[in-house]
Chains A and B, each alone.
Chain A
Amino acid sequence: MLLRYLFIFLIILPIKAIALIEVDITRGNLSPLPVAVSPLSIDEDSKKSFKKILKKENIGIEISVVVENNLKQSGLFNPLNKDAFLQNPDIANLKPRFEDWNLIKAQALITGKVIYDNEKLRVEFRLWDVLAGKEMMALAFTTVPNNWRRVGHIISDKVYERLTGEKGYFDTRIIYVAEEGPKTKRIKKLAIMDQDGFNNKFLTLGNELVLTPRFSPTNQMVTYLSYFKNLPRVYLLDIETGMQEVVGDFPGMTFAPRFSPDGKKIIMSFAKDGNSDIYTMDLENRIVERITKHPSIDTSPSFSPDGKYITFNSDRSGYQQIYIMRSNGKGIKRISFGNGLYGTPVWSPRGDLIAFTKLHKGKFYIGVMRTDGTGERLLTENFYQEAPSWSPNGRVLIFYRETKTNSKGEGFSAKLWSIDLTGYNEKLVKTKTDASDPSWSSLLGN
């Protein structure tokens, strides 16, 4: 009897549940998230100590500016004007008055404080969800005072990751070729800087022509091409120690050496017996292995992040197009079929896309396509631009763009630009000199 009633009861229950109305939300806005970056609070003693060491009036404000600029540059966040803030920075250890931050339409809030602790810089920061009125994250970093900009970048990465769901790209560096002088007599040096253009350093003197620098996966080493007595040489440079070594002299045209994902090999193309093909070199034993063998010109190889595939360009079909193959050179497959010429393919660190340069009807494009060649999207168009390099999270590309010279040969310039995958957030990357051939490091903390 009891079972019968229970049975009836269980049958009736779900009938009520059916009444719940469901509404599908399949669209939202992609406008930048309003975020308030409160200046990090600092006590008077710490302020004085840091002023002595870093010559900065208020290091708390300086770090918050680094965070703010990073978030703004990403195009995904809209840091609110500090003049509108109703609560002072001394809220570091208190719960913010969320209604005040709600009033200025902030959806996320960053607070924190800076302490001078035993000759070190200690930064504590918190990320708050203003609408939910709760803390999302709280972290503290201790480092030498000179690393204050890196602390700002690390905070930016943590905030970016917590709010977007993917790793950031702010605590990274960019290596590039710094260019000076007239176009006909250009001095080219290797240079390195933070991704926001600060802490610029030159790594070579400019006596030799340098080209295509690329980071190793650990960011410790850089491989690049340089011409010594008109012969192309591939170098390895340790950016921490400044030690440089020659990997080898290669005949004919040599292009774009690049590390394999495990950092044990270099892949490049060079001409042997009049034919340009793709080769790898084992960095331990310096054994060179030929990967492609075709009478056409094969260049610009780049490994997939798992190291199983290689993308490269080749004119084997009659025109320069993009191909992929297995890392042993087998299973070659053409993936670009659009109009124009395709070059400089680079596999995304996420593994889902290949970035490329395209030349069509006299204009250069930077674009991306899926690894099977579908979904080609051209992100930016210009008179001359090339050499895209991915940010470590696979969301942003950095490349260089040259401007036209006038009839007198004046007005030439080469600058670094970045663009995200939406194609809307295109930004000039500040460099002290003209710049070309950028390469983005992976996250320094990794």
Chain B
Amino acid sequence: MNRNIFISFGLHTLIVMITAMSLPFLTKKPIDLPPIVSVELIQITDKTNIPFAPKAKKIIEKIKEKEKKIVSEQAPPKIVKKEKPDAVPLPDDKIKKVEKIKDEKQNPEKIESEVKQVSEFEKKDLFDPNSIAALIDKSKVESAETNKKLDKITQDQDKNIDFSGLSLSEEDALKAQIFGCWSIPLGLPYNEDLLVRIKLQLKPDGSIIRSEIIDHARMNKPGQGFYKVLAESALRAIKLCQPLRVPTTGYERWKELQLNFDAREMLEG
């Protein structure tokens, strides 16, 4: 009898624990697909530092000016075109003149293609990398703005980012900081596994609460003396760099980080 009560109590406790730990997580609203558009975000951030951006801005401005010009030049004939059938009938010769103007300047197809920005780029600057960058850059601005707006709309979304990692620019900032702090030991053997994974617990200001070498046991294995040297150099880099350049928001997202230090690329150079 007592045994059954004991088992029942145990199972109920387990259920309560599982519920407390997992159900809030499971009951999260499903990820809203449109706002994530993670692929776009990555592409956008990837291009953040592209030096073409100022050029692209100029190009866009030029195009806008062109559009304005096109519109202003072509607007009157359009009006003529519209008014022509409804307005007072004109003598034939006048109609012909108007038609001539139409043929020379108001080819509807041409106007249409010029008015659309995208096709304008394609037509005139298909092989100009600056213009292509401008396109990307523009789409980036638009998407980033969209993303900002969406962030404001739903709070759940911030939690959803748990799975999206750092943005590329955030990651770049962190990497650039650690690159400067990591003095790579030059005596390491080239043909060995030179990867050290370190798990960090961080404070909101980027300082380190705890650092842990994931494959710690390897440090004391025979013939792996170089791994100890490498792991120590990585730990020194982290300590030297702290506080780490972490994003100012989304602490929940990055309070735990894993840094994978890999010296092969540098040593094989």
Contacts and interface: CB of A to CB of B under 8 A. Distances in A.
Contact of B187 (A15, A19, A26, A164): A164
A165 B263 CA distance: 13
A268 to B, nearest CB: 32
Contacts of A43: none
B258 A25 contact: no
Interface string B226-260: 10011011111101100000000000011011111
Interface residues of B, number: 54
A20 B18 contact: no
Given A25-B262, A26-B266, A131 B236 contact: yes
A434 interface: no
Nearest to A168: B187
B248 to A, nearest CB: 16
A18 B163 CA distance: 7
A164 B185 contact: yes
B265 interface: yes
Contacts of B199: 20
Nearest to A393: B187
A191 to B, nearest CB: 30
Contacts of B185: 163-165
Interface stretch (B49-57, B63-71, B120-128, B170-178): B170-178
A161 B263 CA distance: 18
B61 interface: no
A72 interface: no
Contact of A129 (B187, B236, B265): B236
A123 to B, nearest CB: 24
Given A8-B18, A163-B185, A25 B166 contact: no
Given A29-B184, A132-B239, A166-B187, A20 B179 contact: no
Contacts of B233: 28
Interface in A27-44: 27-31, 33
A5 B15 contact: yes
Interface string B152-165: 00000000001101
A105 to B, nearest CB: 9
B18 A28 contact: no
Interface string A404-446: 0000000000000000001000000000000000000000000
- Interface bracket on A: 35 or more
* Interface residues of chain B: helix, strand, loop or mixed (majority): helix
Nearest to A375: B268
Contacts of A31: 183
B224 to A, nearest CB: 10
Contacts of B230: 165
B225 A165 contact: yes
A352 B233 CA distance: 25
Interface in A65-110: 76, 107
Contacts of B257: 20-23
B182 A28 contact: yes
A23 B21 CA distance: 27
A395 interface: yes
B184 A23 contact: no
A160 B236 CA distance: 17
Interface in B171-228: 171, 174-175, 178-190, 199, 225-226
Nearest to B252: A19
B111 interface: no
9 contacts: A9-B18, A19-B163, A27-B265, A28-B263, A30-B186, A131-B235, A131-B239, A165-B229, A422-B186
Interface of B: 11, 14-15, 18, 21-22, 25-26, 162-163, 165-166, 171, 174-175, 178-190, 199, 225-226, 229-230, 232-237, 239-240, 253-254, 256-266
Interface of A: 1-2, 5, 8-9, 12, 15-16, 18-31, 33, 76, 107, 129, 131-132, 136, 160-166, 352, 393, 395, 422
